[in-house]
Amino acid sequence: MTVLDTDFLIDLLNDEPGISIVADSFQNPKTTIINVFELYYGANCSARPEENISKINILLKSLGILEFDRNAALKAGEIQAKLMNSGRPVDPMDVLIGGIVLSNNDELITRDINHFSRIPGLRYRSWQTGDYGR
């Protein structure tokens, strides 16, 4: 299954050129509850919070939302420890997202290859460049 990262969802909300064609190619797309938090946080920091929250609510009706459960917490804890021990930490929100995606055996669609490529075993793909990894 395909999990959409916050950057993809923001581009979708902003109707970036070509994004809707890419979005339509995914069957049963999902996002994580962490991405939902990031969207609402960004909307509340914006100049038009009510308008942006309304757009987010409409978008979320078309997506499955993966929760941060015990298995995801276990994975995220393993990831964070490995990254900290290697001296290559990433944003904690990305670690939580990675834990959810890994625990559901899904693939993440993101632009943030720099962070997500450091998460061992995570399948990810850039919708813009086609870069991918595991």
For the stretch 60-88, pLDDT in tens is: 999 999 999 999 999 999 999 999 999 99
Q: What is the pTM of this model?
A: 0.93
Q: Which residues does residue 107 pair with via DSSP β-bridges, in sequence order?
A: 2, 123
Within-domain flag for 80: yes
Length of the chain: 134
- What's 26's domain CATH number? 3.40.50.1010
**Local confidence band at 130 (pLDDT 50, 70, 90 cut-offs):** low
Cβ–Cβ contacts within 10 Å for residue 104, how many?
A: 18
Q: Which residue has the higher pLDDT, 127 or 15?
A: 15
Report yes or no on 19 lying in a domain: yes
Q: Is residue 127's pLDDT more than 90?
A: no
Range of the domain at 85: 2-125
- Is residue 49 a part of any domain in this protein? yes
Given a cut of 70, is residue 102 above it in pLDDT?
A: yes
If one counts the domains in the chain, the total is: 1
Q: What percent of the chain has pLDDT over 70?
A: 96
